[in-house]
Amino acid sequence: MEKLIEKVKRRIESLAQELEHIYNDYPEAVIGEITVKNILGGMRGMKSLVCNTSYVDPYKGLFISDLEIPDFEDKSPEEIFFLLVTGSLPSVDELNELKSEFNKRSRVPQHVWTTLKSMSQTTHPMTMFSIGILAMEGESVFKQKYARGIPKSDYWKYTLEDSLNLIAKLPELAAGIYRILFMNGELIDTSDEKLDLAGNLTYRLGFNRHNPSFADLNRLYLVLHCDHEGGNVSAFTSRVVNSALSNIYLAASAGLNGLAGPLHGLANQVCLNFITCIHDQFGNNPTVDQVRDFVTATLDAGKVIPGYGHAVLRVTDPRFTSFMKFGDAHCSDSPYLQTVKKLFQVVPDILRSYKGGKVANPWPNVDAISGSLLYHYGMTHYEFYTVMFGISRVLGFCAQNTIARGLHQPIIRPKSVTTAWLKEYLKKQ
Ligand code: NMX
Ligand code: MLT
């Protein structure tokens, strides 16, 4: 892995130099003000972190380095990880080296299966995924090295080493959970095969695997969800946990627990359930008016419309557009995709006037469409969809934390205040 390690080292050195200049030249420069609205509003819009793996432009969406989604949507997850952590796409040799490294490290230890198989069948797949990762925490090289004593300058190397070990095992772990919960626990072995991350996942899930477009969808899934800058709930959680030098297994598991919430990654599961409820009520080909009525009734019941809105984006999520392009090419007649389109026709207008125009972004996010495509290919157990999101998002956690440790970023610990303090402070203004 010398090539990858060397490139990450160079990137960290160059970022460290840039940050040192910034720190020395502008130590007291003001980036923004903190308002009461910020403190009471989930810190929305407050610039308070540095993240160089990716950036989300409110009007253009996700950028990885200077690449927008159409520039990288046809890449593999391996290429994307390389891009996230080094800032550039790999050469053919670098890519082959990374693929073979992941392949070598891909086996999940037997004790993890014993743990997962002993759990109740009612356990949510995201809980199992998080526990499966935690169960492998004993293998952390960072933890072992830290206990013996290592210089700060080596933290990133062992974070990267742990990251490679963890990412390599995710397809087998995730597919195994799918088969434990939904396929009588019969795991599919691929130890003879030289498969890449997406190929391993597709093969081990064990259905429709001879359908090349399902394999393409899995690849796209693992690419589009990989990272969304540093402030989203899951990445931020993993950054906070890793900043305490809790190893990447602990940080990834924690981040995934955030992703498992319905306002974050679980929204893809909730969206599929939402569409299923529309179909149960009106049949598989509801009219636009019926869809509109269903949306209005959902809002009247005090619920949110899953897959719509975003904390940063102010346009249709380009990840939604990318999935739509895939759907139009491969399954345009799917009733689920058709209902996604009808929702896209009615929801933005409804949300624009909802709560007196309070909804900051009435447009669809990635979760409004991703599940409908998996459903089309026969993955009908939609409780699993957030695991698919999670496999990909761990790439971002690993890249962000490797760089953060390389830059010796300190433990993340903002100051909180009491309401009494706030009242007292504001009285004096
Ligand atoms: N349906 C109904 N109400 C909404 C929606 C929606 N889709 N989106 C925002 N609002 C409401 C929101 O609940 C809030 O109401 P209140 O002040 O009464 O609590 C008001 O509009 C203002 O919220 P925003 O500032 O627009 O949104 P915020 O940044 O706080 O939250 C989300 C962003 C994504 C949490 C929010 O839009 C939402 O709940 N969407 C539905 C769930 C979803 O799709 N989540 C997935 C996000 C992407 N991901 O993968 O993580
Ligand atoms: C994500 O991919 O993390 C979501 O779109 C949420 C976010 O960016 O806040």
SS (H, E, C) 175-212: HHHHHHHHCCCCCCCCCCCCCCHHHHHHHHHCCCCCCH
* Separation CA 263–CA 65 (nearest Å): 27
Query: For residues 269 and 412, what is the distance between their CA atoms, to the nearest angstrom?
Result: 31
- How far apart CA 82 and CA 64 sit, in angstroms, is 11
Q: Name the token pair of 147.
A: 């206990």
Q: What is the pLDDT confidence band of residue 307, given thresholds at 50, 70 and 90?
A: very high
Q: How much of the chain exceeds pLDDT 70, in percent?
A: 99
**313 C-alpha to center of ligand 2: Å?**
9
Q: Please check the confidence at residue 193 and state whether its pLDDT lies above 80.
A: no
Question: Could you report the per-residue pLDDT of 297-306, keeping only the tens digit for each?
Answer: 999 999 999 9
Is residue 249 within 8 A of residue 397, CB to CB? The reply is no
pLDDT tens digits for 106-147?
999 999 999 999 999 999 999 999 999 999 999 999 999 999
The question of whether 367 is a catalytic residue gets the answer: yes
pLDDT of residue 185: 93
Local structure of 75: helix, strand or coil: coil
Q: If you take atom 6 of ligand 2, which residue's CA is the nearest one?
A: 232
Residue 210 has pLDDT above 70, yes or no: no
Q: Which residue puts its alpha carbon closest to atom 23 of ligand 1?
A: 359
Q: Cα separations (Å) of 176 from 81, 150, 186, 270?
A: 23, 35, 8, 23
Proximal ligand: closest to the CA of 350: 1
CA distance linking residue 384 with residue 127, whole number of Å: 11
Q: CA 106, CA 102: separation in Å to the nearest integer?
A: 6
Between strands 54-57 and 67-68, the pairing is: unpaired
Q: What is the DSSP letter of 308?
A: B
The Å distance, Cα 26 to ligand 2 centre, comes to 30
Across the range 398-402, mean pLDDT stands at 98
Residue 129 burial (CB count, 10 A) = 29
279 is catalytic: no
Q: Which residues line ligand 2 (CB under 6 A)?
A: 228, 232, 311-312, 365
Q: Which ligand is nearest to the CA of 367?
A: 1
Residue with CA at minimum distance from ligand 1 atom 17: 358
Judged against a pLDDT cut of 70, whether residue 337 lies above it is answered with: yes
Residue nearest atom 45 in ligand 1 by C-alpha distance = 263
CA atoms within 13 Å, Cβ hemisphere of 366: 25
Q: Is 395 left (phi over 0), alpha (psi -120 to 50) or beta?
A: alpha
Ligand 1 pocket mutation pick from 224, 359, 392 by most atoms within 8 angstroms of CB: 359
Please check the confidence at residue 269 and state whether its pLDDT lies above 70.
Answer: yes
Structurally, what CATH architecture does the domain formed by 267-376 represent? Orthogonal Bundle (1.10)
CA dist 211 to 145, 214, 264, 377, 421, Å?
44, 6, 30, 9, 61
Which ipTM value was assigned to this complex? 0.99
- For ligand 1, atom 29, name the residue with the nearest CA: 311
Sheet holding 54-57, edge to edge: 54-57, 61-64, 67-68
- Helix residue spans in 186-317 (DSSP H): 197-205, 212-224, 233-243, 248-259, 267-282, 288-300
Q: What is the mean pLDDT of residues 151-173?
A: 98
Q: Quick one: which atom of ligand 1 is closest to the CA of 271? A: 44
Measured distance CA(3)–CA(164) in Å, rounded: 14
Contact of 56 with 228, CB cutoff 8 Å: yes
For residues 330 and 213, the answer to whether their CB atoms sit within 8 Å is yes
pLDDT band of 194, cuts 50, 70, 90 = confident
- The active-site residue out of 162, 227, 228, 264 is 264
Distance 82 CA to ligand 2 centre (A): 21
13 pLDDT band, cuts 50/70/90, is: very high
What separation in Å is there between the alpha carbon of 256 and the centre of ligand 2? 13
Residue from 80, 225, 228 to probe ligand 2 pocket by mutation (most atoms less than 8 Å from CB): 228
Q: Position 229: which residue type?
A: E
**Of all protein residues, whose CA lies closest to atom 2 belonging to ligand 2?**
228
Please give the distance, rounded to the nearest whole angstrom, from the Cα atom of residue 228 to the centre of ligand 2.
Answer: 6
18 Cα to the center of ligand 1, angstroms: 36
**Can you give the residue ranges of every domain in the chain?**
267-376
* Beta-bridge mates of residue 67: 64
Which atom belonging to ligand 1 lies closest to the Cα atom of 232? Answer: 51
Catalytic residue, chosen from 310, 317, 330, 376, is 310
Which residue from 399, 384, 94, 353 is spatially nearest to 229, judged by alpha carbons?
399
Q: Can you point out the beta strands (E) in 12-166?
A: 54-57, 61-64, 67-68
Q: How many CB atoms lie within 10 A of CB 18?
A: 11
Rounded to the nearest angstrom, the distance between the alpha carbon of 114 and the centre of ligand 2 is 33
User: What atom of ligand 2 comes closest to residue 366's alpha carbon?
Assistant: 5
How far apart, in whole angstroms, are the C-alpha atoms of residue 365 and residue 308? Answer: 6
Residue 241 has pLDDT above 80, yes or no: yes
- Taking Cα atoms as reference points, which of 216, 215, 212 lies closest to residue 204? 215
Active site residue 310: yes
Query: What is the structure's pLDDT at 209?
Result: 61
List pLDDT tens digits, range 402-416.
999 999 999 999 999
**pLDDT on residue 190:** 76
